[in-house]
Structures are given as C-alpha cells and as structure tokens.
C-alpha cells in the first residue's frame, strides 16, 4: 500500500477498498493498515460492512459502493457515511425517510455507467432528472465516478471508449452548477497503468492486496499480502490400483504415499482447485481425488510425518505457489480465491518477512489451517 501511495501525485487522494472482508484478508485489519499507509477514504460494498468498520472505531470517510435501501438512510447519516446514488428514483425514495434539511448533510457519490453495465447513470436525460435532487441544501455531492471493465487487459480500446464517455459525462457535472468535490474513475489496474486517469482520487482494491496485472505494469512491484498454510492430519500408503475420493475419483498408478489436509470447499478451496499443487517439505505435491467439504488429499513425495507443514499459497523452501498460478487454473482472478476463504480459516497478521521460518519453528497448536497476512 505504501508503494502505491508513493506512486501517486500528492494531490491525488487514495480510497482503499476493503469490501468482502478485505478481499478475504480481514476488513478491519485491512482498513487499519490502509489508514496507517496514508489512505484518505475507505470503500465497502454494503452498509453492513461500513457498520463493522465504524463499530471497530474507523474514523476515515467511508463510501458505500452499492446503493443502500432508502429506509436505512438515517442510520447511514448517523454513521457519517458517503452513499452511492445511481438514479433519481433512489434519491426521491430517500426523501420519505430523510425530509429536506433534517438530520444533517446527505453526502453522496454519483455513479455513472460508462460501459460496465452494473449500476449508474447512462444518459443525459437520467442525469438531468437527478440534478434537481442534487441541488438540495442538505445534499453534498462528494464524488462523481465510474468503473472500467477492461483496465487489466492488454487491449485498451474499450477502456478508451469508457474514458471518452466519462469525459463527456464530467462536462455534464461541470455545467450543472453543482459543487462536485471529487471525480474518480481509476481502480487498481487503471491507477497503476494509466497515471493520467488518477483525477482527484483513485480506488485501490485488488492492488492493495498484491493483485494486479504485473505483466502490464512496470512502474511498481507489489507482493501478495497473504499466504495460506495447513498441516497434515493423516498419512497413509496406497497400493497400486487403490482408489480414493468421492466417486473413486483417483486411482493409484503405483504404490504411493497420500496425505490428508484439513481444508476443503467449505473453507473456499473449491473443487475447481482439483489438479493444482501444494508444497510440503519444499516440494510440490498434487491434489488428488475430489476436494471434499472439509478435507483434501495430496500425493506426497514420500512418507511424511503427521503435522508436516503444507503450503497452499506462498513460499516453502525454493518453491512458491502463487495466486496467479491458481487463478490461471480456475480461469478467474486472484481476488476470487482470497475472497472465498471462509471464517474457519484463521487469520494471523504479521509485519515480519520471516513468516515461513516462524511457521516452521513455532510451537504446534491445534490450528490446522491458517492464512498469514
């Protein structure tokens, strides 16, 4: 996060996105780290996530990226949150629960849809319908923003179309007579690849956790913030021809050693991970058979002791399992993997770079799967 902050002009504000439990890393811990690194704002997807941060004592401005239910507006005002508006109807409905000039300022960011197609104002007519609601004395337009669909792809043609469309929409805002404090369009990939798109603020989500299109970005080097470890709970030897796994999904081609690891699809290690590898004793070991709800099996390089350290993401010896490798296997993005890690996976937070030495030397506790952030 500090590397990203240093790469931005001093005039550009940084919004740290800590939605989805901090992309699986822990929302409160991620927010605290972002604040320490110089973030100016926080962002979450849902009101409930913002409530958690306020309950934990977070004081930074927080933007809720998804429009909330209008009846919850008084609670959002009490918590001093910034809210996303994507239609005139939403703001009209809010007035049922927040009469004009009551309960302080309604701080909003207007979402513009330039091509991603999720939510937002798409046409000048929609904007013109919204503007009268924005002119109310108790409304503060804190932001005007959009989000790119292809910023992490090599082909920039669609991003350029969205950029041009947002430039046109910015003129709607500037000619409206409204005071708009921040214009922002760049998420992680766009902020790192195209500094000219930084505008007044950038929204850093995936890159905050070390996920970015590194083959397209040369200006900064980021490392994943999380590693994932477990331990063997059972070791056995299969004879050639023996089966294991639901549906007899694996058959031993030779006599081989098998280890059971207590992590499964209920923890976020889905069956799409079948065919990937883990690390044990500094060597790669393939996952064999179907991944179960609570456990998975690996083909060991030889006999291993119960309790041997298993690394599912991270470094062990000279070998490394990366998020990029796993994401390529499942055909998706790295943050889907981290965000899927469930509450049964204990999180340990550390500032030391000697994580793996600590893991190898620590007194063994009854914790069999753990993410180190």
Give catalytic residues, as residue numbers.
19, 246
Written as six digits, the tokens of 244 are: 């294991």
Give the number of C-alpha atoms closer than 13 A to the C-alpha of residue 220, restricted to the C-beta side.
Answer: 24
Longest Cα separation, the chain: 78
Cα separations in angstroms, 304 against 181, 217, 307, 320: 60, 41, 9, 19
293 annotated as ligand-binding: yes
Of 114, 111, 110, 85, the closest CA to residue 98 belongs to 85
DSSP states along 110-175:
EEB-SSS-SSSB-SHHHHHHHHHHHTSTTEEEEEEE---SSTTSS--HHHHHHHHHHHHHHHHHHH
Measured distance CA(182)–CA(149) in Å, rounded: 21
Q: With the CA atoms of 22, 25, 26 and 32 taken in that order, what torsion angle do they form, in degrees rounded to the nearest 10?
A: -80
347 annotated as ligand-binding: no
What are the counts of helices (DSSP H) followed by strands (DSSP E) for the chain? 12, 20
Which parts are annotated binding residues?
A: 118, 293
Which parts are annotated binding residues for substrate?
A: 118, 293
């Amino acid at each position: 996060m500090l590397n990203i902050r240093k790469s931005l002009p001093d005039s550009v504000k940084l919004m740290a996105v800590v939605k989805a439990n901090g992309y699986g890393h822990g929302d409160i811990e991620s927010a605290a780290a972002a604040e320490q690194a110089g973030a100016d704002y926080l962002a979450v997807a849902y009101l409930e996530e913002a409530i958690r941060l306020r309950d934990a004592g977070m004081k930074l401005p927080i933007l809720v990226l998804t429009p909330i239910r209008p009846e919850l507006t008084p609670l959002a005002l009490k918590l001093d949150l910034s809210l996303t508006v994507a239609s005139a109807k939403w703001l009209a409905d809010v007035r049922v629960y927040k009469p004009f000039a009551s309960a302080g300022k309604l701080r909003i960011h207007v979402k513009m849809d330039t091509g991603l197609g999720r939510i937002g104002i798409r046409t000048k007519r929609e904007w013109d319908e919204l503007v009268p609601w924005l002119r109310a004395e108790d409304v503060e337009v804190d932001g005007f923003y959009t989000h790119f669909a292809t910023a992490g792809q090599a082909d920039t043609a669609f991003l350029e179309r969205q950029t041009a469309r947002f430039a046109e929409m910015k003129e709607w805002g500037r000619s409206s007579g409204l005071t708009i404090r921040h214009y922002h369009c760049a998420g992680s990939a766009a902020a790192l690849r195209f500094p000219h798109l930084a505008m007044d603020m950038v929204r850093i989500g995936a890159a905050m956790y070390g996920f970015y299109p590194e083959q397209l970005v040369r200006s900064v080097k980021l490392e994943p913030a999380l590693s994932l470890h477990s331990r063997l709970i059972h070791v056995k030897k299969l004879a050639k021809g023996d089966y294991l796994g639901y549906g007899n999904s694996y058959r031993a081609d030779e006599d081989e050693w098998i280890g059971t690891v207590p992590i499964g699809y209920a923890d976020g290690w889905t069956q799409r991970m079948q065919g990937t590898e883990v690390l044990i004793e500094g060597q790669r070991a393939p996952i064999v058979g179907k991944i179960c709800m609570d456990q998975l099996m690996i083909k060991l390089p030889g006999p291993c002791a119960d309790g041997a350290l298993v690394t599912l993401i991270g470094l062990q010896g000279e070998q490394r399992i990366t998020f990029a490798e796993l994401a390529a296997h499942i055909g998706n993005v790295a943050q889907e993997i981290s965000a899927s890690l469930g509450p049964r996976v204990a999180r340990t937070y550390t500032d030391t770079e000697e994580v793996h030495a600590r893991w190898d030397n620590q007194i063994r506790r009854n914790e069999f799967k753990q993410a180190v952030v």
